Structure formats: structure tokens, C-alpha cells
Structure 1
Amino acid sequence: MGEKREVKLFGMWASPFSLRVEWALKLKGIDYEYINEKDIPYKKSQELLHFNPITKKIPVLVHHGKPLPESTVIVEYIDEAWPNGFRILPLDPFERAQARFWARFADEKFLPIIFNVYTKTGEELKKAAKELQEALKNLEKALDGKKFFGGETLGYLDIIVGWIPYWLRVIEELTGAIIIDDETLPLMNAWFDNFLAVEIIKNTLPPKDEFYEFSRGRREEFMSGQLTLD
């Protein structure tokens, strides 16, 4: 579309929030320049700090020199700024509101619980895993009768919660916890497979071996107290 120089994305290769924005851009067919921030926490580039002096976090989309932070906000902006082609948010106002509700529910509910599964062991891990299963059962209701949250094709909610299948499978391997299977969450388990099979999604995900080692190292840092959340 000839806009690569006009669209920049500041992200980080292992960030689920950066991936949300990449998926939205790719589904829309928008060319962009990707600036990968360092893996080391708290060490931000001067360019990132210039464009996002408030939260100092990725992702940041820069369009025609104007910066926009926060992944959910960026995804919605992309859908509105490039209205032609693939539609991310539903056209129907009620369905659009529902998608936003579930997206907010997911961000508020799943991030802290998944972090607990990621960093706990023993009884604390079992408790966190059970809590996560119960939360996923609530989200699974939005999949009733659908292949994707967006229906027969990907939609806004798929993009927002799409990090969970890949990240959670790796966390299951790291911790030994089994969160998702056909018995406990059949619709969610099927959605995991359907989502990860989409070419744009599959081709944008971090390499499995590298991501596993990165996640293993970060888990050890969190568990030892060397690393804490912002």
C-alpha cells in the first residue's frame, strides 16, 4: 500500500501485545516498519520514550508521525483508519460492544491469573490453574456455535485474546499444569487449534524453541525475585 515509511510499530518479539497490533496490520494488508525493542526490561530506547513518554511501554504505533500507545486502542484505530478490506470490529453496534466487553474482561481477568500459573509451583500452581480454567469457561461462552470469536473468520476478540493459545501451551509445558483439553474446555481447545492454524497468525508467532527458552528464563527470574512486574 506504499505506506511503510508512514507506519511504524515499536514492539518486542516476545510481546503478546505487540503481536495484537501486527495481526491487525497484516489482516488489513498494511505495510509497516517494525522496530524491535530490547528484551531487557526497563531499558527503553530513546525513540520509544520520545513517542510514548507517558507509560514508556510497547507497543506504540506511529502513523504519519503521530504516536498511539496501548494495543487495544491501536487495534481499533487501525480498523477505523483503514476502513476498507478486512473488517476487525463487528459492524453491528451491539456485537461491537459485546466484543469490547469480552476483550476488557480478558485483559483484566486473564493477565494476572496466567501470570500466577506461570510463576507458581505446588499447591499455589494448582489453585491458579483451577482459577484460570473457571475464567476460561466464562470466555468460552462467547464461542458457542462459532469457529472463531468473530464467527467464521477472525475478529476483534480473536486478535485481543489470540496470544493465549500460544503462550498458555508453553506455560503448560514449563509448569506441568494442564489447563485446556477436550474434556474441560472443548470449544476453547478447538479455538486454540483453529486460531493457530491461520496462516497470518502462524507466520507471525515467535519461533517456538526461542520463545520457550525465553519464557523459561523469565520464569526463573520472576520466581527468584530478580524480576518483578512494573
Structure 2
Amino acid sequence: MEPTLYFHPLASYCWKALIALYDSGVAFTPRLVDLGKADDRAALQALWPPARFPVLHDAAQGRVLPESTILIEYLAERHPGAAALLPTDARERLDVRLWDRVCDDHLQDPMQKIVGDRLRDAAVRDPHGVAEARTALQRAYPLFEQQLAGRTWLASDGFSLADCAALPALFYASILEPIPDGLGALHAYFERLLLRPAVQRVLEEARPWFRFFPFADAMPARFVATEPL
């Protein structure tokens, strides 16, 4: 029995899980969740009461795996195709976990602060918090530039959990706060990520939904949807 992934194609943390699944060739059943629909929300809450995705339900093993990092580590332990996402060498594995956390904490968190604020009513927005989040993104980019010097992938010799985390974080963050022109290694790395077949599949599946992204008007033309849902 294949595990089921509860997800939404626009959600950045779901991209992280989808990239890992597609890149490693793990068979799964996709279950798109629209939290605006009561039945969908109830189905997700029955598995994971916070009702946040992605969630992987592996019924054959009796396991419910929320949180994208944990989900990917589970795949790496149980599926040969995903094993390379978490290296066996202890030092390299620690580097991969470190940069997974850097992606989530220093790119995803401030990016989601900015997006979440745009979704609020104007009267309760937090311009100071948004300004801090934008500064945090610009402060994070040079960290990646330094890390990527002489590297193909972010934290190990091969494509890993860290790279699964980096793509969605960089994709959305760079729309809100463009990566400075002088960071050549980071720009080149982002383009390499975009060429990864698993990434291209995730982007293609998300493309019709981009119109619902609160900053869709700032999205580069190459990512704009050409077909309706």
C-alpha cells in the first residue's frame, strides 16, 4: 500500500516534501487539501490536529508523519531511492541537517511572515515586523553565497534534504526580496535547482495556482501560469 501525501500545490513546505518524493522515485498517493473546505480540513485534522500540511500517512506502517523535514528523514530511512537525501557519513549528515534548518529558519520563516501579513486586514498589519522579515532575508542570502563557494549542492556532494528545503525557500523569498546581483554562486545554484526534473514537475503542478499567491504580480514572467485551473 502506497503512503498518502496530504498537501497543497502552492504551499512551500509541501514543495519540499514533493521534491523529495519525486526526486527519489517513491510511489505515493497525492491528496490535495483545500483548507477552505470543511471535509478536507476534517480529513487532515483526523490525522494531524494542527491541520498543517504536508502530512504523510503510511497506513501500512501505522505512521503519520507531519513536518517536511521529519517526513523526508522517514523516506530516507525506509526507501532506497530516498536514502541519498540524508548522507550516511555523520559529518556530512550533520551539515545537511544544519542547512535544512537554515533554509527553514532564515528564509521560510521571514518569507511566510511577509506573505501572512499581506493576507491580513489592513488595520491589523505589522509593517515593522514585515520590514524586519525583509531585512532577515537580505541578511540570509550572503550566508548561502559563502556556503556555496566551490559547491554544486548546498551541503553535501549529492542532492540532499538541504536542497529540497532550499528550492521552495529561495523561490518564494526571492520574489519578495530579490537575490542581489553580486551573489553569483547563489544565483547559479538557484538555476541548477530549477533544472532538477523533480523541481520542474513541482513548479509545473503549482503553476495554475500561482495566481492565488498574494504577491503574484511580482512573480517573474517565466513562472506565470499560461493555462487556467
Q: Normalized against structure 2, the TM-score is what?
A: 0.76
Indicate yes or no: 2:96 matched with 1:91: no
Q: Which residue of 1 aligns with 2:198?
A: 200
Q: Which residue of 1 aligns with 2:163?
A: 158
Separation in structure 2 between the aligned mates of residue 213 and residue 182 of structure 1, nearest angstrom:
27
Contact 1:12 1:39 survives alignment (8 Å): no
Indicate yes or no: 2:131 matched with 1:133: no
Residue 75 of structure 1: how far off its partner (Å): 0.4
Separation in structure 2 between the aligned mates of residue 77 and residue 39 of structure 1, nearest angstrom:
25
What is the DSSP-based 3-state SS (H/G/I as helix, E as strand, rest coil) of the residue aligned with 2:214? helix
Query: AA paired with 1:142?
Result: Q
Indicate yes or no: 2:120 matched with 1:115: no
Q: Which residue of 1 aligns with 2:9?
A: 13
What is the DSSP-based 3-state SS (H/G/I as helix, E as strand, rest coil) of the residue aligned with 1:107? helix
Separation in structure 1 between the aligned mates of residue 17 and residue 194 of structure 2, nearest angstrom:
16
What is the DSSP-based 3-state SS (H/G/I as helix, E as strand, rest coil) of the residue aligned with 2:213? helix
Q: Which residue of 2 aligns with 1:59?
A: 54
Q: Normalized against structure 1, the TM-score is what?
A: 0.76
Separation in structure 1 between the aligned mates of residue 73 and residue 202 of structure 2, nearest angstrom:
20
Separation in structure 1 between the aligned mates of residue 212 and residue 165 of structure 2, nearest angstrom:
22
Indicate yes or no: 2:25 matched with 1:29: yes
Deviates more, 1:142-151 or 1:65-74: 142-151
Q: RMSD in angstroms over aligned alpha carbons? A: 2.9
Residue 211 of structure 1: how far off its partner (Å): 3.8
Separation in structure 2 between the aligned mates of residue 8 and residue 89 of structure 1, nearest angstrom:
21
Query: AA paired with 2:197?
Result: E
Contact 2:6 2:56 survives alignment (8 Å): yes
Contact 1:8 1:34 survives alignment (8 Å): yes
Separation in structure 1 between the aligned mates of residue 22 and residue 207 of structure 2, nearest angstrom:
24
Please point out which of 87, 99, 102 is paired with 2:99.
Answer: 102
Separation in structure 2 between the aligned mates of residue 81 and residue 204 of structure 1, nearest angstrom:
23
State the percentage of identical aligned residues: 22
Task: Give the direction of change, closer, same or farther, for the CA distance of 1:137–1:202 in structure 2 (3 Å limit).
Answer: same
Separation in structure 1 between the aligned mates of residue 71 and residue 206 of structure 2, nearest angstrom:
26
Measured against aligned partners, the alpha-carbon deviations of 1:94-153 in whole angstroms (never above 9, x if no partner) come to 1111211222233222233223444479x8666643431111212333212112215554
Indicate yes or no: 2:77 matched with 1:80: yes
Task: Give the direction of change, closer, same or farther, for the CA distance of 1:161–1:111 in structure 2 (3 Å limit).
Answer: same
Any gaps of 5 or more consecutive residues in structure 1? 220-230
Query: AA paired with 1:149?
Result: L
Task: Give the direction of change, closer, same or farther, for the CA distance of 1:128–1:51 in structure 2 (3 Å limit).
Answer: closer
Contact 1:102 1:139 survives alignment (8 Å): no
Q: Which residue of 1 aligns with 2:151?
A: 146
Measured against aligned partners, the alpha-carbon deviations of 1:7-27 in whole angstroms (never above 9, x if no partner) come to 110111111111221111122
